[in-house]
């Protein structure tokens, strides 16, 4: 995280702390909105490893600013920001390494289970319900229902929970999905176990998915609503 990003986040956090204390009942809309700002920024900072900020010191800083006072010199503040940033980066690197190791260990054990198949790329899949419908190709669009979890069972996304399937081009998703979908037939339900390098790798798409995560998806292929021109020609030739 850049220093100016950290400073801006802390500045927003201080606004949420003005006029509040631990005994605040948070009754008024302004109090609730202020709390929500602080909660949101706090979660964001924590997700980036900045979880050792002192809320009372933050409140003291905004109080001094309102009085046009300053207890710590700018140079010391910049040194402190740099220190916290380095600590946050070290913590996140350690966490990312642990996530990667846990995912690799999980896949090793998972590959031993009956019914789990592993492709050359490292994708693991399990056929929950087989079917004999058409198979999608790379340039097709598909309609699916899915339920996505981390290896600890935490749900990060689910069209099933939302009650609405999703439609997208096969080639527009993560590599594990691109490969896995082309193994399926319409009407089938598979379970994908996707190594991090076939998912999002070191990049976290959301706080719900830590970097280097191995992902698990239950996927039901509902339809191929948009076939590529090549697929249509193949179908016509078969007829």
Summarised one tens digit per residue, pLDDT across range 189-235 is 999 999 999 999 998 888 899 999 999 999 999 999 977 545 555 54
Name the active-site residue from 106, 125, 140, 146: 146
Inter-helix orientation angle 55-66/3-17, to 10°: 80
Position 67 in a domain: yes
Does residue 90 lie within any of the structural domains? no
Round the CA-based radius of gyration of the chain to a whole number and report it: 24
Q: What does DSSP say about strands 116-118 and 124-129: parallel, antiparallel, or unpaired? A: antiparallel
Q: Of 125, 200, 209, 216, which is the active-site residue? A: 200
Q: Is 156 a catalytic residue?
A: yes
Considering the domain architecture, whether residues 129 and 218 belong to the same structural domain is answered as yes
Active site residue 157: yes
Domain annotation covers residue 60: yes
Q: Are residues 227 and 130 in the same domain?
A: yes
Is 152 catalytic? The answer is no
Q: Count structural domains, the chain.
A: 2
How far apart (Å, rounded) are the C-alpha atoms in residues 184 and 39?
43
Candidates 62, 106, 140, 157; catalytic one:
157
- Which is the catalytic residue, given 174, 197, 223, 231? 174
Domain co-membership, 21 together with 126: no
Is 217 a catalytic site residue?
yes
pLDDT tens digit sequence for 177-196? 999 999 999 999 999 999 99
Q: Is 174 a catalytic residue?
A: yes
pLDDT, tens digit, for every residue of 95-152? 899 999 999 999 999 999 999 999 999 999 999 999 999 999 999 999 999 999 999 9
Quick one: 114 exposed, middle or buried, by C-beta within 10 A (0-12, 13-18, 19+)? Answer: exposed
Q: What is the pTM of this model?
A: 0.69
Task: State which residues form the domain around 219.
Answer: 109-238
Asked if the structure places residue 168 within a domain, the reply is yes
**Given 71, 94, 122, which residue is the final one in a domain?**
71
- Clarify whether residues 67 and 113 are in a common domain: no
């Amino acid at each position: 995280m850049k220093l100016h990003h950290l400073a801006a986040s802390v500045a927003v956090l201080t606004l949420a702390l003005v006029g509040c204390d631990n005994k605040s009942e948070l009754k008024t809309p302004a109090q609730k909105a202020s709390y929500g700002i602080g909660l949101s920024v706090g979660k964001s900072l924590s997700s980036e490893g900045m979880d050792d900020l002192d809320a009372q010191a933050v409140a003291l800083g905004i109080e001094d600013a309102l009085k046009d006072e300053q207890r710590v010199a700018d140079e010391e503040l910049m040194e402190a920001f740099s220190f916290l940033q380095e600590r946050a980066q070290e913590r996140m690197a350690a966490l990312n390494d642990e996530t990667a190791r846990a995912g690799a260990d999980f896949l090793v054990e998972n590959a031993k289970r009956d019914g789990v198949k592993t492709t050359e790329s490292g994708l693991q899949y399990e056929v929950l319900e087989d079917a004999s419908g058409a198979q999608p190709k790379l340039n097709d669009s598909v309609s699916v229902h899915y339920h996505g979890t981390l290896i600890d069972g935490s749900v990060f996304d689910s069209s099933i929970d939302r009650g609405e399937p999703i439609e997208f081009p096969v080639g527009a998703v993560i590599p594990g999905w691109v490969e896995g979908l082309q193994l399926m037939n319409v009407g089938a339900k598979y379970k994908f176990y996707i190594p991090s390098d076939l998912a999002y790798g070191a990049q976290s798409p959301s706080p719900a998915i830590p970097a280097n995560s191995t992902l698990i998806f239950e996927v039901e292929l509902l339809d191929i609503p948009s076939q590529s021109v090549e697929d249509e020609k193949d179908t016509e030739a078969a007829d």
